[in-house]
Structure 1
Amino acid sequence: MTEPNDPKALRNDREQARQELSETVAELADKLDVPARAKDKVHETAEVAKERVTAAKFQTLAAGDQARDKAEQAQAVAKEKTLQAAEKIESSVPEPLAERGKQAAGVARRNPVPVAAGAVSAAALIWWLARRRRS
Protein backbone atom coordinates (compact mmCIF):
# COMPACT_ATOMS: atom_id res chain seq x y z
CA MET A 1 0.00 0.00 0.00
CA THR A 2 1.19 3.53 -0.73
CA GLU A 3 1.97 6.10 1.93
CA PRO A 4 -0.57 8.87 2.39
CA ASN A 5 2.18 11.49 2.09
CA ASP A 6 3.49 10.21 -1.25
CA PRO A 7 3.07 13.16 -3.70
CA LYS A 8 2.54 10.96 -6.75
CA ALA A 9 -0.15 8.90 -5.01
CA LEU A 10 -1.83 12.06 -3.77
CA ARG A 11 -1.89 13.49 -7.33
CA ASN A 12 -3.39 10.26 -8.68
CA ASP A 13 -6.02 10.23 -5.93
CA ARG A 14 -6.78 13.90 -6.61
CA GLU A 15 -7.12 13.28 -10.38
CA GLN A 16 -9.35 10.27 -9.78
CA ALA A 17 -11.50 12.29 -7.37
CA ARG A 18 -11.73 15.12 -9.93
CA GLN A 19 -12.76 12.64 -12.64
CA GLU A 20 -15.43 11.09 -10.42
CA LEU A 21 -16.64 14.51 -9.32
CA SER A 22 -16.78 15.66 -12.95
CA GLU A 23 -18.87 12.65 -13.91
CA THR A 24 -21.16 13.17 -10.91
CA VAL A 25 -21.63 16.86 -11.79
CA ALA A 26 -22.41 15.94 -15.42
CA GLU A 27 -25.00 13.38 -14.30
CA LEU A 28 -26.58 15.89 -11.91
CA ALA A 29 -26.60 18.56 -14.61
CA ASP A 30 -28.38 16.15 -16.95
CA LYS A 31 -30.95 15.36 -14.26
CA LEU A 32 -31.49 19.02 -13.46
CA ASP A 33 -31.75 20.10 -17.10
CA VAL A 34 -35.55 19.85 -17.20
CA PRO A 35 -36.04 21.37 -20.70
CA ALA A 36 -33.58 18.89 -22.22
CA ARG A 37 -35.18 15.98 -20.35
CA ALA A 38 -38.62 17.15 -21.47
CA LYS A 39 -37.40 17.40 -25.06
CA ASP A 40 -35.95 13.89 -24.86
CA LYS A 41 -39.23 12.61 -23.42
CA VAL A 42 -41.19 14.30 -26.23
CA HIS A 43 -38.95 12.67 -28.85
CA GLU A 44 -39.26 9.32 -27.11
CA THR A 45 -43.05 9.63 -26.93
CA ALA A 46 -43.23 10.70 -30.58
CA GLU A 47 -41.23 7.65 -31.64
CA VAL A 48 -43.54 5.36 -29.66
CA ALA A 49 -46.58 7.06 -31.21
CA LYS A 50 -45.14 6.67 -34.71
CA GLU A 51 -44.53 2.98 -34.09
CA ARG A 52 -48.08 2.54 -32.83
CA VAL A 53 -49.54 4.40 -35.82
CA THR A 54 -47.52 2.23 -38.19
CA ALA A 55 -48.70 -0.90 -36.40
CA ALA A 56 -52.30 0.35 -36.51
CA LYS A 57 -52.01 1.03 -40.25
CA PHE A 58 -50.81 -2.50 -40.87
CA GLN A 59 -53.61 -3.89 -38.71
CA THR A 60 -56.14 -1.73 -40.57
CA LEU A 61 -54.81 -2.89 -43.92
CA ALA A 62 -54.96 -6.49 -42.78
CA ALA A 63 -58.50 -6.00 -41.48
CA GLY A 64 -59.45 -4.31 -44.76
CA ASP A 65 -58.06 -7.24 -46.71
CA GLN A 66 -60.02 -9.65 -44.53
CA ALA A 67 -63.19 -7.58 -44.92
CA ARG A 68 -62.71 -7.41 -48.69
CA ASP A 69 -62.19 -11.18 -48.85
CA LYS A 70 -65.31 -11.80 -46.77
CA ALA A 71 -67.32 -9.37 -48.91
CA GLU A 72 -66.17 -11.13 -52.06
CA GLN A 73 -67.10 -14.50 -50.56
CA ALA A 74 -70.51 -13.17 -49.53
CA GLN A 75 -71.01 -11.71 -53.00
CA ALA A 76 -70.13 -15.04 -54.60
CA VAL A 77 -72.55 -16.89 -52.30
CA ALA A 78 -75.32 -14.35 -53.00
CA LYS A 79 -74.73 -14.62 -56.75
CA GLU A 80 -74.86 -18.41 -56.58
CA LYS A 81 -78.07 -18.36 -54.52
CA THR A 82 -79.62 -15.82 -56.91
CA LEU A 83 -78.78 -18.01 -59.88
CA GLN A 84 -80.23 -21.04 -58.12
CA ALA A 85 -83.43 -19.13 -57.27
CA ALA A 86 -83.70 -17.84 -60.86
CA GLU A 87 -83.28 -21.36 -62.23
CA LYS A 88 -85.90 -22.68 -59.81
CA ILE A 89 -88.38 -19.94 -60.76
CA GLU A 90 -87.62 -20.33 -64.45
CA SER A 91 -88.25 -24.08 -64.28
CA SER A 92 -91.60 -23.54 -62.54
CA VAL A 93 -92.90 -20.89 -64.99
CA PRO A 94 -94.74 -22.25 -68.06
CA GLU A 95 -92.77 -21.89 -71.32
CA PRO A 96 -95.15 -19.47 -73.13
CA LEU A 97 -95.23 -17.13 -70.13
CA ALA A 98 -91.44 -17.21 -69.79
CA GLU A 99 -91.06 -16.40 -73.50
CA ARG A 100 -93.42 -13.40 -73.21
CA GLY A 101 -91.50 -12.16 -70.15
CA LYS A 102 -88.21 -12.36 -72.06
CA GLN A 103 -89.77 -10.44 -74.95
CA ALA A 104 -91.07 -7.75 -72.59
CA ALA A 105 -87.65 -7.43 -70.93
CA GLY A 106 -86.01 -7.09 -74.36
CA VAL A 107 -88.46 -4.34 -75.37
CA ALA A 108 -87.84 -2.53 -72.08
CA ARG A 109 -84.06 -2.68 -72.63
CA ARG A 110 -84.32 -1.36 -76.18
CA ASN A 111 -86.85 1.40 -75.32
CA PRO A 112 -86.33 2.47 -71.69
CA VAL A 113 -87.91 5.94 -72.00
CA PRO A 114 -91.35 4.83 -73.30
CA VAL A 115 -91.43 2.00 -70.75
CA ALA A 116 -90.58 4.42 -67.93
CA ALA A 117 -93.22 6.87 -69.19
CA GLY A 118 -95.78 4.06 -69.25
CA ALA A 119 -94.86 3.04 -65.69
CA VAL A 120 -95.21 6.64 -64.46
CA SER A 121 -98.55 6.97 -66.26
CA ALA A 122 -99.80 3.73 -64.71
CA ALA A 123 -98.72 4.91 -61.25
CA ALA A 124 -100.46 8.25 -61.76
CA LEU A 125 -103.64 6.49 -62.91
CA ILE A 126 -103.63 4.19 -59.85
CA TRP A 127 -103.05 7.16 -57.55
CA TRP A 128 -105.90 9.10 -59.18
CA LEU A 129 -108.28 6.14 -58.89
CA ALA A 130 -107.37 5.57 -55.24
CA ARG A 131 -108.01 9.22 -54.37
CA ARG A 132 -111.30 9.19 -56.26
CA ARG A 133 -112.56 6.17 -54.31
CA ARG A 134 -111.75 7.80 -50.96
CA SER A 135 -113.83 10.88 -51.80
Structure 2
Amino acid sequence: MNIPSDPEALRYDRDLTREELGRTVQALSDKLDVPGRTRERLHRGARSAQDNADRAAQVVKQIPLPAIGVTAAGALAAVWLLRRKRS
Protein backbone atom coordinates (compact mmCIF):
# COMPACT_ATOMS: atom_id res chain seq x y z
CA MET A 1 0.00 0.00 0.00
CA ASN A 2 1.42 3.37 -1.02
CA ILE A 3 0.95 6.09 1.55
CA PRO A 4 1.23 9.54 -0.03
CA SER A 5 3.65 11.96 1.63
CA ASP A 6 2.05 15.15 0.28
CA PRO A 7 -0.39 16.64 2.85
CA GLU A 8 -2.97 17.43 0.17
CA ALA A 9 -2.77 13.88 -1.18
CA LEU A 10 -3.11 12.56 2.38
CA ARG A 11 -6.28 14.62 2.92
CA TYR A 12 -7.69 13.45 -0.41
CA ASP A 13 -6.92 9.83 0.48
CA ARG A 14 -8.50 10.30 3.93
CA ASP A 15 -11.66 11.81 2.44
CA LEU A 16 -11.91 9.06 -0.15
CA THR A 17 -11.50 6.41 2.54
CA ARG A 18 -14.21 8.06 4.65
CA GLU A 19 -16.63 8.06 1.72
CA GLU A 20 -15.95 4.39 1.00
CA LEU A 21 -16.36 3.51 4.66
CA GLY A 22 -19.63 5.46 4.80
CA ARG A 23 -21.00 3.56 1.80
CA THR A 24 -19.90 0.25 3.33
CA VAL A 25 -21.53 1.04 6.67
CA GLN A 26 -24.74 2.10 4.89
CA ALA A 27 -24.79 -1.12 2.85
CA LEU A 28 -24.33 -3.21 5.99
CA SER A 29 -27.02 -1.24 7.78
CA ASP A 30 -29.42 -1.81 4.88
CA LYS A 31 -28.71 -5.56 4.95
CA LEU A 32 -29.40 -5.75 8.67
CA ASP A 33 -32.67 -3.79 8.43
CA VAL A 34 -34.90 -6.84 8.03
CA PRO A 35 -38.19 -5.04 8.81
CA GLY A 36 -37.34 -2.34 6.27
CA ARG A 37 -36.42 -4.88 3.61
CA THR A 38 -39.63 -6.81 4.32
CA ARG A 39 -41.72 -3.64 4.00
CA GLU A 40 -40.02 -2.81 0.69
CA ARG A 41 -40.74 -6.30 -0.66
CA LEU A 42 -44.38 -6.05 0.39
CA HIS A 43 -44.72 -2.65 -1.28
CA ARG A 44 -43.12 -3.98 -4.46
CA GLY A 45 -45.50 -6.95 -4.45
CA ALA A 46 -48.50 -4.70 -3.90
CA ARG A 47 -47.42 -2.40 -6.73
CA SER A 48 -46.95 -5.39 -9.01
CA ALA A 49 -50.39 -6.78 -8.13
CA GLN A 50 -51.99 -3.39 -8.70
CA ASP A 51 -50.24 -3.06 -12.07
CA ASN A 52 -51.48 -6.52 -13.08
CA ALA A 53 -55.03 -5.67 -12.00
CA ASP A 54 -54.92 -2.43 -13.97
CA ARG A 55 -53.69 -4.24 -17.09
CA ALA A 56 -56.39 -6.91 -16.70
CA ALA A 57 -59.05 -4.23 -16.36
CA GLN A 58 -57.83 -2.55 -19.54
CA VAL A 59 -57.92 -5.86 -21.43
CA VAL A 60 -61.46 -6.59 -20.23
CA LYS A 61 -62.58 -3.10 -21.25
CA GLN A 62 -61.26 -3.73 -24.77
CA ILE A 63 -63.23 -6.97 -25.21
CA PRO A 64 -66.54 -6.29 -26.93
CA LEU A 65 -69.61 -7.05 -24.81
CA PRO A 66 -71.01 -9.64 -27.25
CA ALA A 67 -67.80 -11.66 -26.98
CA ILE A 68 -68.19 -11.78 -23.21
CA GLY A 69 -71.80 -12.90 -23.63
CA VAL A 70 -70.85 -15.65 -26.08
CA THR A 71 -68.12 -16.87 -23.74
CA ALA A 72 -70.48 -16.91 -20.78
CA ALA A 73 -73.15 -18.73 -22.82
CA GLY A 74 -70.58 -21.30 -23.93
CA ALA A 75 -69.49 -21.89 -20.36
CA LEU A 76 -73.09 -22.33 -19.22
CA ALA A 77 -73.78 -24.74 -22.07
CA ALA A 78 -70.70 -26.78 -21.17
CA VAL A 79 -71.78 -27.00 -17.52
CA TRP A 80 -75.31 -27.97 -18.56
CA LEU A 81 -74.00 -30.72 -20.89
CA LEU A 82 -71.65 -32.11 -18.24
CA ARG A 83 -74.45 -32.27 -15.67
CA ARG A 84 -76.77 -33.86 -18.18
CA LYS A 85 -74.23 -36.60 -19.01
CA ARG A 86 -73.80 -37.42 -15.31
CA SER A 87 -77.54 -37.87 -14.81
**TM bracket (short chain):** 0.5 to 0.7
Matches within 5 A, 1:118-133: none
Q: Which residue of 2 aligns with 1:55?
A: 55
The RMSD of aligned alpha carbons is 2.3
Q: 1:41 offset after TM fit, Å?
A: 0.7
Q: Which moved more, 1:37-46 or 1:6-15?
A: 6-15
Q: What's the CA shift for 1:60?
A: 3.3
Structure 1 moving runs of 4+ over 6 Å:
none
State the 1:12 CA deviation: 1.2
Q: Which has more radius of gyration?
A: 1
Q: Deviations over 1:70-93 (max 9, x none)?
A: 59xxxxxxxxxxxxxxxxxxxxxx
Structure 2: where are the runs of 5+ without partners? 72-87
Q: CA deviation at 1:64?
A: 6.2
Residue 130 of structure 1: aligned partner: none
Q: Which ranges of structure 1 fall in alignment gaps of 5 or more residues?
A: 72-135
CA deviation map 1:102-122 (0-9, x unaligned): xxxxxxxxxxxxxxxxxxxxx
The answer on 1:38 being equivalent to 2:38 is yes
Query: Hey, what does 2:82 align to over in structure 1?
Result: none
Looking at both structures, which has the greater relative contact order when contacts are Cα pairs under 8 Å and sequence separation is at least 6? Answer: 2
- Aligned-partner residue type, residue 67 of structure 1: I
Superposed counterparts of 1:46-125, under 5 Å = 46-63=46-63, 65=65, 66-68=67-69, 70=70
User: When the two structures are aligned, how many residues end up with a matched partner?
Assistant: 68
Aligned letter for 2:10? L
- After TM superposition, the structure 1 = structure 2 runs for residues 20-31 of structure 1, keeping only pairs within 5 Å, are 20-31=20-31
What TM-score, normalized by structure 1, do the two folds share?
0.43
Q: Taking structure 2 as the reference length, what is the TM-score of the superposition?
A: 0.63
Give the AA of the match of 1:42: L
How many percent identity over aligned positions? 37
Q: CA deviation at 1:63?
A: 4.4
- Local SS of the residue matching 2:49: helix
